[in-house]
Amino acid sequence: MARNLSEELMRDLYAEGNDNLGARLGRACVDAHICASHVALIMDVSRMTVHSWFRGNNVRLRYREAIEALIVTIKRDTEARVLPAHNLATSREYVTKLHADKHSDVTQTTL
């Protein structure tokens, strides 16, 4: 699968001691072959916002819980061999399903 991250960003993500929330999300996505633009879809933010999180920029409080949950989900699905995604289509299919599940959970809890 083609990478959508620069070599510099890849080095930064895996640098020793880099354990901020955005870097943890970035590493989970790289390991699972999930594209940043697909993460943006599920988080309802822009691709540039996701890249800024990967680079260690501030993550707003309202996104932190969702990012933590996404990291756990990606790691669980990687261990279960649902991931890594094999190509861009399977990456998008994966996050589309997560996005639909997220919205159905919201609908069920508000009814």
Average pLDDT of the segment spanning 102-110: 53
**Cβ atoms of 22 and 68 closer than 8 Å:** no
CA distance 92 to 47: 14
Buried/exposed code over 65-86 (b: 16+ C-beta within 10 A; e: otherwise):
eebeebbebbbebbeeeebbbe
Residue 52: alpha-carbon gap to chain centroid: 13
Mean pLDDT of all residues belonging to the chain = 88
pLDDT in tens, 4-35: 688 888 888 888 888 899 999 999 999 999 99
Domain boundaries, the chain: 7-110
Axis crossing angle, helix 61-79 with helix 88-110, rounded to the nearest 10: 120
Average pLDDT of the segment spanning 79-88: 94
